[in-house]
Amino acid sequence: MRHHMCLLAATVALPFLAQPSWANMVYVSNEKGNSVTVVDSQTMEVVKTIDVGQRPRGITISPDGKIVYVCASDDDTVQMIDTSTGEIIGSLPSGPDPELFTLSPDGKTLYIANEDDNLVTVIDVESKGVIAEIPVGVEPEGMGVSPDGKTIVNTSETTNMAHFIDTSTHEITDNVLVDSRPRYAQFKPDGSEVWVSAEIGGTVSVIDNKTRTVTHKITFEIQGLRSEQIQPVGIRISADGKKAYIALGPANRVAVVNTETYTVEKYVLVGQRVWQLAFMPDGKSIISTNGLSNDITFIDTETDEPIKSVTVGQLPWGVAVSPN
């Protein structure tokens, strides 16, 4: 009898134990829902919803996949979620109204844009202490870190600049003027370029990291849409550096850009007001958060076709995927 029970227990437990390692968890911050939705990337279904602070926006995950960091903008804090239990295990001092942040490649330092105070706050994750506060332009928003961790780029929405900051001295070394309301900065994986999206300007500026000048400007055109409806926000560049994906906000599309020719190859239709993006660790798909339709869309990066949209919480904003 006992033997049978053991067998039964083993049978029941097996599917859980045998969970394939490539099932990554997708963490989505819901700006209005005040929650983080966890989606299984393999089944593409919601696994769990975690209540967090008010107005969660920026979200990222530690390189080891153990901690998810969420900016709770209206609570003026960065919350830490233990990915194994799904519970909030603490918070980091962030300064007021943190919107977006970036984690250094070694996972030790967090660079936070404080929208209201025109500051970039540098936090030591381990000691939870503020290392530095760097004054930048008005309404800092986008944050990008170079692959070597030596440079961070902050964009200020009102000043319309990309500020290059040396991470060793915590000082601005270069200011590059871009188009109106820069939202996001993303380094190419080889660190040669920084791509900065301008929401109102409707462009993406490509900045050479050596000369710190704008070398290319990418524009978008979608038949049947007014140009004001095309508002580039989130940017992600594939690991091989060949393709860039750009979320176009109320155009409900993600643009696929060839990084050699700087031309748009395709527009992928996703949900309403697409905001941020995140690659799966294997690079085979990319996920977009669609704020107004309350869902995320998985896009196959080989065919650049949308696969499936999954409903998450209210007003999904950012997305982070657990590493392998």
Partner 1 sequence: MTEISGNISIPTGYSRFGLMQYLVCLKGILIREGLRYLHQRERFISSLVRPLLWLFIFAAGFRQVLGVSIIPPYQTYVLYEVYITPGLCGMILLFSGMQSSLSMVYDREMGNMRTLLVSPFPRWFLLISKLLAGVAVSIVQVYAFLFIAWFWGVKAPPAGYLLTLPALFLAGMMLGALGMLLSSMIKQLENFAGIMNFVIFPMYFASSALYPLWRVQEASPLLYKICLLNPFTYAVELVRFAFYGKIEWMSFIVVCGFTLVFITGAIIAYDPSRGLVIKKQEGGNN
Q: Which residues bind partner 1 (CB under 8 A)?
A: 222-225, 251-252, 269-272, 293, 295, 297, 306-309
Cβ nearer to partner 1, comparing 241 with 250: 250
Residue with tokens 């070694």: 106
Burial class (CB in 10 A: 0-12, 13-18, 19+), 264: buried
Query: Beta-carbon neighbour count of residue 14 at 10 Å?
Result: 10
Q: Which is nearer to partner 1, 179 or 295 (CB)?
A: 295
| Least spacing, CB of residue 232 vs partner 1, in Å | 17
| C-alpha span between 264 and 219 (Å, rounded) | 8
Q: How far is the CB of 224 from partner 1 (least distance, A)?
A: 4
What is the closest distance, in whole angstroms, from the C-beta atom of residue 214 to partner 1 in the complex?
30
Phi then psi for 229, rounded to 5 degrees? -80, -10
CB of 272 to partner 1, least distance (A): 7
CA 287 to CA 42: how far, in whole Å?
A: 13
Q: How far is the CB of 278 from partner 1 (least distance, A)?
A: 17
Q: Which residues touch 308 (CB under 8 Å, ≥6 apart)?
A: 44, 297, 298
Nearest approach, Cβ of residue 276 and partner 1 (Å)? 17
CB of 189 to partner 1, least distance (A): 28
Distances, alpha carbon 288 to alpha carbons 49, 178, 223, in Å: 18, 24, 22
Please say which residue, 31 or 295, places its beta carbon nearer to partner 1: 295
Q: How far is the CB of 78 from partner 1 (least distance, A)?
A: 32
- Mapped onto helix, strand or coil, the DSSP state of residue 1 is coil
How is residue 249 annotated by DSSP?
A: B
CB-count burial class (<10 Å; 0-12, 13-18, 19+) for 169: exposed
Closest to partner 1 by CB, 206 vs 277, is 277
Half-sphere exposure in the Cβ direction for 125 (13 Å, CA): 21
- Collapsing DSSP to helix, strand or coil, 2 comes out as helix
Which two structure tokens, joined as six digits, stand for 209?
Answer: 């990291």
Question: 50 near 88, Cβ under 8 Å?
Answer: yes
The CA-atom distances, in angstroms, between 99 and each of 55, 111, 116, 206, 246 are 9, 11, 10, 23, 19
